[in-house]
Amino acid sequence: MQEHLKVALFQSDLVWENPEQNRTNFAEKIASISEQVDLIILPEMFTTGFTMNAKSVAETMQGDTVVWMKQIASKYNSAITGSVIIVENGKFYNRLLFVEASGQVTAYDKKHTFTLASENKIYTSGSERIIINYKGWNICPLICYDLRFPVWARNTVNYDVLLYVANWPKARVNAWDALLKARAIENMSYCIGVNRVGVDGIDIEYSGHSAVYDVLGNPITSVKPSKEQIEIVTLKKQHIEKYRNALKFLNDRDDFMFT
């Protein structure tokens, strides 16, 4: 078990529907990090922006972006995660990929597709919540709109980190701030949210507000809104154990089954 987990949050602008350019841009940003990190976190649909034009930009699990993520993970001896558009058996998925330095790939398909943007008409909804054990840390990865649904995120398995990657618009960023904090408090876990900035190809503006909250809901990052920024923060197992043992709130959680 690793006591500390050092994570790098990449709050970045995205080039609309241009996977190659986005991979190049992120490669340069990642190369600029001067310290070793355990996990690199990129936004939702980090190669394309939040597009419904899936057919023109979707990749397979053997495609260029998965290959690139494996190369980055190996080169920097770090896991890397973010969501991309994947086509599989004729269906499109908004899929979070968690790629480790060993080359191991774990995938989570977005459960709650965003009906306001007709994501549900283009992308197939995922049905399984996953927990990734990485360096002794249990991480629950989710995507953007999933943040609005606390039952799906409920900490029934004592995970340590709840992780959201997003393209969450500036117009509703107050909800993003409030819900990230709430998810940390109610689940007594670190809660990480990595959101993009800039304006996308359909003129939707994003202001970032990427953040990490501790188990008491305190922000432990200082990412500036609407700016591209890399924020590196160290998570501590001792912090989780201290407050879970002292307060024992998770002992009183409701019992239920995911369906």
The catalytic site residues sit at 44, 110, 144
Beta bridge partners of 105: 99
Ramachandran assignment for 24, one of left (phi > 0), alpha (psi -120 to 50 degrees), beta (any other): alpha
Beta bridge partners of 205: 199
Q: What distance in Å separates the CA atoms of residue 186 and residue 130, rounded to the nearest whole number?
A: 19
Beta bridge partners of 190: 161
Q: What distance in Å separates the CA atoms of residue 202 and residue 205, rounded to the nearest whole number?
A: 9
Question: DSSP strand E in the chain: where?
Answer: 4-11, 39-41, 79-88, 91-99, 105-109, 132-134, 137-143, 161-166, 190-195, 197-199, 205-207, 211-213, 229-236
How many CB atoms lie under 10 A from the CB of residue 70?
A: 19
